[in-house]
Structure 1
């Protein structure tokens, strides 16, 4: 039998053109992560399930929490006022009354697990399963308990107006910059009272020193900077936390978050910017309330919050020893219009 020119009898034939391989690999990554969530569902035990009350078109919020009793009252109040209709929460072994606060709230459904947060992709396996079950077809806001979602006109235009505009604009997701908030002084010197607005004590943020690049193959934005980068990771800035997130998505049971809410699949969910300006918000990050030293000591021992936990030992030790993030270049928070003027968020075509 004659051989075709340029080919040997045993030469493998390419299964896909080279430009289709990235999409193929992302598809299999998404399927693998969905399968992980299916397996990890057995780690969840319902505490109270009120999801039968979820109505079509309801806006849902998903979160995984551990020992957040101090933050939860205002966190829930803030997002209810925005227009969240129902909260679906995973309590990861809290011991401070967090579970009771959630269970007592009539618009919250709670599941509990004592399994490893790190080995469940930092809670994403549990959240993904619950989003498969309850998030399909809904606009879903996925947050940590130390994040307050804000966006242009948030005080007067609630989430139903925002998501309706996103639907009419053909957008399935919205991005937000995580903005580290901190007090004017040492972190432990400004007491916080549960139920009050944490930005009353976490009054400042960094307005500059942010770097941004687009990562492939998912096309997600990688933003680093802020006070943690300059204070704790100045010598190795590539290790600084990622600040860009995609917290608001019209969910489909085939979607997954890949790394916290920094990136999602399918890839188009990461298209939160285009050639012009797109609507973006901010996550006011309230991590640095008083008590951070005690929490850091616990996390240093547990090693549940980073994949390479040993690399962050110095970060935790500085927080334990006492740290001050405020400098003469810090900027006082004055609301969303100020953030827009600084170029940290954008209203895009949202009026």
Structure 2
């Protein structure tokens, strides 16, 4: 009886804390200030989904990222540049489908950029869906079920599903230079198909409001040795609702209503290329990230992504990744 009372008290405290954080994020998101650099051209067709992204020094990956999402049929991008010094901002200024904002504010003080993301979502996505991704994240779904992202959205709406679960799957052993020189989608797929991924280091966590289990672990957990299991749960695709706000990157949003989900996908994560240590070696950037960049610092200690090869490493196979991920997030593990 006493143990139950203590658990109930702790859960009540967590609920109160989450509510306070939610209202704080709503308030601060609504008052965020971003400077408009340029607006995209008038689109011939208003699609049901837009991409929102925050970037800083992503010149290696931003071209490939835009190429990938354009190949999905997306024609509107809303991007915040947070003080890039490597040519990212200049590149984005030349992209006719990008509405570009900039800010010199602290990424960390903006709740790791989600205040800016929320502001963009509520300004530009009313009546539509948002695909909230980083420049190193490629959104994948089962194309044997849904031929296009628009087919996926139609089915989500038809099944009353207002958000889409797509946990991170880390790829490694690929060339960052090849990513940087991507010209068309076939170039990008050639890079991805040469990559490696872990087959046995992912674990399931607690049950989520959509009925799936959280996904944890992967190669970044191996790199961090005794660090906490990497939280790979993400909801990159969500339907705009007036009271909906991201509260922890795309790992979490509120209010998160319980829904019976029929579909899930994954985000292929291109963080661990062969220039990993160089890309995570700037202390001024790393300290702006979660836990003062502790995980990112452990990544930087790796000489290159070949250090990540492991007995359970396997060459990229998208069908296996989807099947294996679905097995983990639908079944509890010891």
TM-score range, shorter chain: 0.7 to 0.9
Structure 2 counterpart of 1:251: 240
For 1:197, which of 188, 191, 195 is the aligned residue?
188
Looking at structure 1, the residues matched to 288 and 46 of structure 2 have their Cα atoms a distance apart, in angstroms, of 35
Structure 1 counterpart of 2:7: none
Structure 1 counterpart of 2:129: 139
Q: 1:235 to 1:51 in 2, by over 3 A?
A: same
1:131 and 1:253 in contact (8 A); partners too: no
Extract unaligned runs of 5+ from structure 2.
Answer: 1-9
1:30 and 1:255 in contact (8 A); partners too: no
Structure 2 counterpart of 1:179: 169
Aligned counterparts, 1:120-159, within 5 A: 120-153=110-143, 157-159=147-149
Q: 1:204 to 1:26 in 2, by over 3 A?
A: same
Deviation at 1:192, TM superposition (A): 4.6
3-state SS, counterpart of residue 127 of structure 2: coil
Q: 1:227 to 1:339 in 2, by over 3 A?
A: same
TM-score, normalising length: structure 2: 0.82
CA displacement 1:78-137 (0-9 Å, x = unmatched): 111112231100001111221122221111100001111111111111111111111122
Structure 2 counterpart of 1:284: 268
Structure 2 counterpart of 1:106: 96
- Say if 2:330 is the partner of 1:330: no
Larger Rg: 1
Q: 1:30 to 1:69 in 2, by over 3 A?
A: same
Q: 1:50 to 1:62 in 2, by over 3 A?
A: same
3-state SS, counterpart of residue 244 of structure 1: coil
CA displacement 1:189-220 (0-9 Å, x = unmatched): x8655213176265110122222223789999
Q: 1:132 to 1:55 in 2, by over 3 A?
A: farther
- Say if 2:28 is the partner of 1:36: yes
3-state SS, counterpart of residue 156 of structure 2: helix
Structure 2 counterpart of 1:9: none
Structure 1 counterpart of 2:59: 69
Looking at structure 2, the residues matched to 34 and 87 of structure 1 have their Cα atoms a distance apart, in angstroms, of 23
**Residues paired across the two proteins, number:** 316
- Say if 2:203 is the partner of 1:211: yes
Looking at structure 2, the residues matched to 166 and 183 of structure 1 have their Cα atoms a distance apart, in angstroms, of 34
Q: 1:59 to 1:112 in 2, by over 3 A?
A: same
3-state SS, counterpart of residue 163 of structure 1: helix
For 2:84, which of 94, 101, 116 is the aligned residue?
94
TM-score, normalising length: structure 1: 0.78
- Say if 2:199 is the partner of 1:235: no
1:148 and 1:285 in contact (8 A); partners too: yes
3-state SS, counterpart of residue 212 of structure 1: strand
Q: 1:86 to 1:192 in 2, by over 3 A?
A: closer
Q: 1:35 to 1:199 in 2, by over 3 A?
A: farther
